[in-house]
Amino acid sequence: MFRFLLGRLAQSALVLGLAVSVVFALLRAAPGDPLSGSTLDATTAPATRELLRRQYALNRPLLEQYAHFVGSALRGELGMSLSRGRPVAQVLRDVVPNTVLLMGTGLFLGILGGIALGAWQGSRDTRNSATAARVARMSERIGLAIIATPEYIVATAMLTLFAATWRLFPIGGMVSLGVHDSLGPVARAGDVLWHLTLPALTLALIVGAGVARYQRTEMRLVLARPFIRTARAKGVPEARVLVHHALRNALGPVITLCGLLLPSLVGGAVFVEAIFAWPGMGRTMVEAVTGRDYPLVIGAVIVSSVLVALGGLLADVAAAVADPRLARGRR
């Protein structure tokens, strides 16, 4: 297990380095330099712009710029946001917890619901209920429709239906403006939870549809294996066969898949945060890219890559715990 963890840590570090390097190269390949499109360029004197270029090593060769950037990142010096006039670390510290709250809630609900739904769909052929079979087929079609639909359309449909039409949830934001500060601690938490519910459910639908599909496939494959037939022949109760024998063996690949879903979840969170006006890192990154706020873009990418790498590492560890053969390199 120790060698397994060490290998996964090395892979996570490599992925993080590659992600940051690719973004650095793409930003520098764009016409001009990161200051030419920033909001500071229109209001700052040429001497000040030149000082900023020297501060961020933009007047040096590309390799020296990269070395300066890597050294600063390792020291935790992400610089000043060009569009906000604040340290990048402060800007990210304000928005990262909001994104973690939204993504964590959506991922938890999506994985939990997807595993439960997929396991039920995968075991429906073992039941004698025609109604259950029809419901399972219908849920499979709905899941495929969600998978085939872009995230921003799913988010817009959820907002239009549950917030604008039925008014069950707020139209957007994280708190009730003008009211939140006057509430007590419990009421404040309830206000945030009320605003969180709809965007988190949207992410949960996006994640859960994919998880359910893979869980259903794995469940059917496991149920067709000889040891399942042996357990049934020995008179093991069907519920124990499905939960203890089938589901336990079908969880490993699905848990690994959940780690692979994190990058797409980050991309989906960008659309969800923009549509629901959620003050998170996704919306901040979009504003930084459009404003060519070079330090903020790099800082946001570093934090996003770290979150994705940590999530993938946790998924690998959880899969190895569920199926120890993965840690030994066997399946």
Give the Cα separation of 144 and 136 in Å (integer): 12
Q: What is the pLDDT of residue 299?
A: 86
* pLDDT (average), residues 35-53: 67
Q: Give pLDDT tens digits for 261-290.
A: 777 778 788 889 989 999 998 888 888 888
Whether 234 and 283 have beta carbons less than 8 Å apart is answered as no
Could you tell me which residues are beta bridge partners of residue 80? Answer: 87
Exposure class string for 299-323: b at 16+ Cβ within 10 A, else e: bbbbbbbebbbebbbebbbbbbebb
Q: Indicate the pLDDT class of residue 112, thresholds 50, 70 and 90.
A: very high
The domain locations on the chain are 113-284
Q: What is the pLDDT of residue 45?
A: 74
Whether 196 and 189 have beta carbons less than 8 Å apart is answered as no
Q: What is the pLDDT of residue 40?
A: 56
* pLDDT (average), residues 64-77: 79
Q: What is the pLDDT of residue 219?
A: 93
More confident residue, 121 or 268: 121
Name the pTM for this structure: 0.85
Q: At what angle do helices 248-275 and 185-223 cross, to 10 degrees?
A: 140
* pLDDT (average), residues 35-62: 71
Q: What is the pLDDT of residue 296?
A: 87
Q: What is the pLDDT of residue 326?
A: 66
Class of domain 113-284: mainly alpha
Q: Give pLDDT tens digits for 191-224.
A: 999 999 999 999 999 999 999 999 999 999 999 9
Residues 6 or more apart whose CB falls under 8 angstroms from that of 224 comprise: none
Query: Average model confidence (pLDDT) for the chain?
Result: 84
Other Cβ atoms within 10 Å of 234 Cβ, number: 8
| Cα angle: 99, vertex 101, 103; to 5 degrees | 65
Dihedral class, residue 176 (left if φ above 0, else alpha if ψ from -120 to 50, else beta): beta
Give the Cα separation of 12 and 310 in Å (integer): 8
Q: Give pLDDT tens digits for 94-108.
A: 999 999 999 999 999
* pLDDT (average), residues 241-248: 90
Residue 291 has pLDDT above 70, yes or no: yes
